[in-house]
Amino acid sequence: MTTPASPPVPKSILYIEGDPTGWGLRDVAPEFPDWDSTPTALAVIGPLAGTLVLSPVRAASFVLLPPPAGDGWAPAQKPAASFLYLPSAMGVPATSPGYTLGALNRDLPGLQADIMNAMLESTYLPVQVTGAGGTGVVVLNGGALPFVVLGAA
């Protein structure tokens, strides 16, 4: 009988002002990071698995802490489709990771680059999303956006 693999434990937990979610960072330790004013892409392993695109200059403050000791880390949600999570005062809902990406935006590396450029240049970026009623658009204001999380199904 094999024992199920334990979920990965993050190197640190990132909290960004305005969103109560604790983001488990795969590669960044809980010390002063070498981030500057340019957007940076961070691998996250929970509560959603994907890439957190952070604009440090747009985040009023952020906190990096060590992960909880023992079994205090919950594994990531497994979304059914590629998604875009935007900052929310409520944090990540248990029922949904955010917006389901439309067919035009399922190239996650390309979308990540577009978002980072919008943050850097303080421009608007339309992102196609889908919902129960069909296809729509989320318009990201790169000049005000502190972070997003992108992930694949």
pLDDT at position 73 = 65
Distance separating alpha carbons of residues 120 and 38, to the nearest angstrom = 6
Instruction: Give the tens place of pLDDT for each residue, 13-28.
Output: 999 999 999 999 999 9
pLDDT at position 42 = 96
Residue 130 identity (one-letter amino acid): T
pLDDT at position 138 = 96
Residues 6+ positions from 127 with CB-CB distance below 8 Å: 84, 99, 101, 102, 105, 111, 137, 138, 139, 140
Instruction: Give the tens place of pLDDT for each residue, 83-129.
Output: 999 999 999 888 888 999 998 888 999 999 999 999 999 999 999 99
- pLDDT-based confidence at 66, cuts 50/70/90? very high
- pLDDT-based confidence at 32, cuts 50/70/90? confident
Distance separating alpha carbons of residues 55 and 141, to the nearest angstrom = 12
